[in-house]
Amino acid sequence: MTSIYREVILQTDASNAWLALRDSNNVARVFAGVLTGVTVDGDVRTVTFAGGHVAQERIVVIDDARMRVAYTVCGKRFAHHHASMQIVPLADGQCRFVWISDFLPDSEHAFVETLVDAGCVAAARNLAT
Protein backbone atom coordinates (compact mmCIF):
# COMPACT_ATOMS: atom_id res chain seq x y z
CA MET A 1 0.00 0.00 0.00
CA THR A 2 1.22 3.48 -0.81
CA SER A 3 0.81 6.47 1.49
CA ILE A 4 1.20 10.08 0.49
CA TYR A 5 1.43 12.63 3.29
CA ARG A 6 1.49 16.38 2.72
CA GLU A 7 1.42 19.41 5.03
CA VAL A 8 0.98 22.97 3.79
CA ILE A 9 0.74 26.20 5.77
CA LEU A 10 -2.33 28.21 4.76
CA GLN A 11 -2.39 31.97 5.10
CA THR A 12 -5.84 32.03 6.65
CA ASP A 13 -7.23 31.16 10.04
CA ALA A 14 -8.41 27.64 10.75
CA SER A 15 -12.11 28.49 11.01
CA ASN A 16 -12.18 30.03 7.50
CA ALA A 17 -10.24 27.13 6.00
CA TRP A 18 -12.46 24.58 7.73
CA LEU A 19 -15.70 26.21 6.60
CA ALA A 20 -14.49 25.99 3.01
CA LEU A 21 -13.09 22.46 3.22
CA ARG A 22 -15.97 20.80 5.10
CA ASP A 23 -18.52 21.79 2.43
CA SER A 24 -18.45 19.15 -0.33
CA ASN A 25 -20.24 21.55 -2.68
CA ASN A 26 -17.34 23.99 -2.23
CA VAL A 27 -14.34 21.76 -3.04
CA ALA A 28 -14.17 22.94 -6.65
CA ARG A 29 -13.47 26.45 -5.30
CA VAL A 30 -10.96 25.24 -2.71
CA PHE A 31 -9.09 23.26 -5.38
CA ALA A 32 -9.80 25.56 -8.36
CA GLY A 33 -7.19 25.03 -11.02
CA VAL A 34 -7.11 21.29 -10.25
CA LEU A 35 -10.86 20.68 -10.10
CA THR A 36 -13.31 22.16 -12.58
CA GLY A 37 -16.54 20.92 -11.06
CA VAL A 38 -18.29 18.99 -8.32
CA THR A 39 -21.73 17.50 -7.85
CA VAL A 40 -22.98 16.02 -4.60
CA ASP A 41 -25.56 13.25 -4.17
CA GLY A 42 -25.96 12.31 -0.52
CA ASP A 43 -22.57 11.24 0.79
CA VAL A 44 -21.03 10.85 -2.68
CA ARG A 45 -19.38 13.74 -4.44
CA THR A 46 -18.33 13.51 -8.07
CA VAL A 47 -15.33 15.67 -8.87
CA THR A 48 -14.08 16.62 -12.31
CA PHE A 49 -10.38 17.35 -12.69
CA ALA A 50 -8.91 19.92 -15.07
CA GLY A 51 -7.41 17.09 -17.14
CA GLY A 52 -10.86 15.56 -17.67
CA HIS A 53 -10.60 12.71 -15.16
CA VAL A 54 -13.80 12.18 -13.12
CA ALA A 55 -13.83 10.50 -9.70
CA GLN A 56 -16.52 9.59 -7.23
CA GLU A 57 -15.61 10.12 -3.60
CA ARG A 58 -17.73 8.78 -0.76
CA ILE A 59 -17.52 11.00 2.31
CA VAL A 60 -16.79 8.77 5.31
CA VAL A 61 -16.82 11.47 8.00
CA ILE A 62 -16.92 15.22 8.45
CA ASP A 63 -15.48 15.75 11.93
CA ASP A 64 -16.07 19.33 13.05
CA ALA A 65 -14.29 18.85 16.39
CA ARG A 66 -11.06 17.79 14.65
CA MET A 67 -11.65 19.81 11.45
CA ARG A 68 -11.15 16.64 9.41
CA VAL A 69 -12.82 15.17 6.34
CA ALA A 70 -12.23 11.52 5.42
CA TYR A 71 -13.27 10.00 2.11
CA THR A 72 -12.76 6.99 -0.12
CA VAL A 73 -12.49 6.97 -3.90
CA CYS A 74 -15.01 4.63 -5.51
CA GLY A 75 -14.54 2.86 -8.82
CA LYS A 76 -12.24 0.41 -10.55
CA ARG A 77 -9.02 2.42 -10.69
CA PHE A 78 -8.14 1.59 -7.07
CA ALA A 79 -8.38 -1.66 -5.13
CA HIS A 80 -8.39 0.57 -2.04
CA HIS A 81 -8.26 4.35 -1.58
CA HIS A 82 -8.81 6.18 1.68
CA ALA A 83 -7.81 9.78 2.29
CA SER A 84 -8.27 12.48 4.87
CA MET A 85 -7.81 16.23 4.93
CA GLN A 86 -7.43 18.11 8.18
CA ILE A 87 -7.06 21.71 9.27
CA VAL A 88 -4.79 22.35 12.27
CA PRO A 89 -4.94 25.80 13.90
CA LEU A 90 -1.68 27.75 14.22
CA ALA A 91 -0.81 31.15 15.62
CA ASP A 92 -0.90 34.45 13.73
CA GLY A 93 -4.01 33.73 11.63
CA GLN A 94 -2.49 30.72 9.89
CA CYS A 95 -3.32 27.04 9.84
CA ARG A 96 -1.83 23.80 8.62
CA PHE A 97 -3.55 21.73 5.93
CA VAL A 98 -2.73 18.01 6.26
CA TRP A 99 -3.65 15.58 3.48
CA ILE A 100 -3.07 11.84 3.81
CA SER A 101 -3.88 9.43 1.01
CA ASP A 102 -3.50 5.64 1.32
CA PHE A 103 -4.19 3.46 -1.71
CA LEU A 104 -3.63 0.34 -3.77
CA PRO A 105 -2.30 -0.45 -6.28
CA ASP A 106 1.12 1.12 -5.77
CA SER A 107 1.32 1.68 -9.54
CA GLU A 108 -1.06 4.66 -9.11
CA HIS A 109 1.51 6.52 -6.97
CA ALA A 110 2.62 9.03 -9.64
CA PHE A 111 -0.98 9.76 -10.65
CA VAL A 112 -2.17 10.39 -7.08
CA GLU A 113 0.96 12.27 -6.01
CA THR A 114 0.64 14.71 -8.92
CA LEU A 115 -2.97 15.46 -7.98
CA VAL A 116 -2.25 15.79 -4.25
CA ASP A 117 0.70 18.13 -4.85
CA ALA A 118 -1.32 20.27 -7.26
CA GLY A 119 -4.24 20.25 -4.82
CA CYS A 120 -2.03 21.50 -1.98
CA VAL A 121 -0.77 24.38 -4.12
CA ALA A 122 -4.35 25.22 -5.16
CA ALA A 123 -5.65 25.13 -1.58
CA ALA A 124 -2.85 27.42 -0.39
CA ARG A 125 -3.62 29.87 -3.21
CA ASN A 126 -7.42 29.72 -3.06
CA LEU A 127 -7.83 29.85 0.72
CA ALA A 128 -5.36 32.68 1.38
CA THR A 129 -7.01 35.73 2.93
Does the predicted model carry a pTM greater than 0.85?
yes
Q: DSSP string spanning 45-86?
A: EEEEETTS-EEEEEEEEEETTTTEEEEEEESSS-SEEEEEEE
Query: What residue ranges define each of the domains in the chain, with the CATH number in brackets?
Result: 2-126 (3.30.530.20)
- Return mean pLDDT, the chain: 97
Name, in order, each residue with C-beta under 8 angstroms of 11's C-beta and a sequence gap of 6 or more: 93, 94, 124, 127, 128, 129
pLDDT at 105 > cutoff 90 = yes
Cβ-based burial of 39 (10 A; exposed 0-12, middle 13-18, buried ≥19): middle
pLDDT level of residue 31 (50, 70, 90 thresholds): very high
**How would residue 63 be classed by pLDDT, with cut points 50, 70 and 90?**
very high
So what's the pLDDT on residue 129? 80
